[in-house]
Amino acid sequence: MSIPTPAVPPLPIPELTEQELTHEVLLDSEVFWGNHYDWLKERGYLLRPRYRPGWVSSWVGSNKWRGGCEDFQALQIYKFNLDATRLSDGMPVMLRRPDPPSRSNEVKITQVFSSASIDRRNHCAPIYETISLPEPDPGERNSVVIMPFLVEWNEPEFETVGEVVDFCTQVFEGLEYIHSLNVAHNDAKFDNIMMDWSPLYAHAPHPFRTSLRRDWSGPSSPRSRTLYPVKYYFIDWDLSELHDRSASTPIRVPPGYGGDQSVPEFQRNELCDPFAVDVYCLGNVFRTKLIEGDIYCSPRRNVDFLKGLISDMTHDDPAKRPTMSQVVTRFEKIRKGLWWWKLRSRVSDKNVPLLLHWLYSPIHWAVQLSYIVRRIPAIPDYTRNSYHGISEV
């Protein structure tokens, strides 16, 4: 039996001063990045102006609204992650200070993915480079890993069933791949799925406000996923575990880990099969973000074809949930059974009156007809992109 190291509870966030509340000084979570601005620049990575030595907030002493200034954008929760620009080619990247081995197996898990053979099912965010800090870190976070800059998978919203089908295909096979390496993600919730920004946006979006360009020079309007297919990625390995699945004893771990606390086993406070928990958590993403909705997302029309599979993935009894290999096989059959008109149907907000849905339908189908004439596939395929913004090597 393999039991993951219990997560260390996060340190309490200190009460913010008036200057910190107004973002006129770096937050406690940002001090590390400000102190390493020059070192990171020497290593080829440029942070945004807020972290530059001697930075003074641009709105102080002016009539500017501070919330409308780029250098106001900061969040206390992003202590170990920050975006940057790769100086060699101007591409945005994400920097992360990974957990030390004494805290989690994050580094070990990323090495498992990087050493694995190339597989089309691999949807784990790649690591470009790992650089060591110039001095020992008191928290033992002695390195910075460089990863692609990614954006949330559900912004912009899906326009067609075909786009939803593509998303399902990629994330189902992505988690199947992770499990095939005997790794349990252990936090397969909605915000640990991301997507490549480069097909959808002509200009890199800002990490905090994707409606604006990263350089704050104007709007950054997304394009159609059908015309510009994207690749989806899993992130966040600090809770992940590598298990020995060859043993005769079933793998069971204590409950309560990860961000989705609705897992039935957690509610019953019983030992868990971590792979079955992963299946539930991913199924719950589809249940809450597409089928039933939640306080942040409205339920969507035309996604009923997912109900049976998602119901099984989120079954109260973990023994009755399918494995991810079974999920992939079942979804492939579902996918093959969808007619072209269904794939091109609109995925609209169920909370919007049906009359408005039908009033917009002629415009939607006019666009879809133009795609048919141009032989644009109903199900996007990112592998046909002529340009990949994210390098996998």
By C-alpha distance, which of 93, 68, 98 is closest to 82? 93
Average pLDDT, the chain: 91
pLDDT value at 2 more than 80: no
Kindly state whether residue 392 falls inside one of the protein's structural domains. no
Q: In this structure, are 343 and 271 located in the same domain?
A: yes
pLDDT of residue 15: 66
Q: In this structure, are 142 and 219 located in the same domain?
A: no
Element (H, E) at 7: none
Is residue 162 a contact partner of residue 344, using CB atoms and an 8 Å limit?
yes
Kindly state whether residue 82 falls inside one of the protein's structural domains. yes
* Bridge partners (DSSP) listed for residue 7: none
By C-alpha distance, which of 256, 279, 258 is closest to 269? 256
* Bridge partners (DSSP) listed for residue 145: 96, 130
**Rounded (10°) CA dihedral 102, 107, 112, 116:** -170
pLDDT value at 7 more than 80: no
Cα distances from 36 to residues 32, 46, 133, 252, 275, in angstroms, run 6, 10, 9, 42, 39
Kindly state whether residue 224 falls inside one of the protein's structural domains. yes
Dihedral sign from CA coordinates of 318, 320, 321, 326: positive
Which of 111, 126, 150 represents a domain boundary (last residue)? 150
Q: Six-digit token pair at 285?
A: 């993403």
Phi, psi of 95 (to 5 degrees): -100, 140
pLDDT of residue 5: 47
pLDDT value at 16 more than 90: no
Kindly state whether residue 322 falls inside one of the protein's structural domains. yes
Which of 150, 183, 206 represents a domain boundary (last residue)? 150
What Rg do the C-alpha atoms of the chain give, in angstroms? 22
Which domain covers residue 342, as residue numbers? 151-383
For the chain, what is the domain count?
A: 2
Q: In this structure, are 173 and 289 located in the same domain?
A: yes
pLDDT of residue 13: 54
Express each pLDDT in 81-110 by its tens digit: 999 999 999 999 999 999 998 899 999 999
Q: In this structure, are 169 and 140 located in the same domain?
A: no
Hey, is 47 helix, strand or coil? coil
- Please tell me the distance from the alpha carbon of residue 302 to that of residue 160, in angstroms, as a whole number: 9
Phi, psi of 20 (to 5 degrees): -70, -40
Is residue 110 a contact partner of residue 97, using CB atoms and an 8 Å limit?
no
Express each pLDDT in 195-212 by its tens digit: 999 999 999 999 999 999
* Bridge partners (DSSP) listed for residue 195: 151, 232
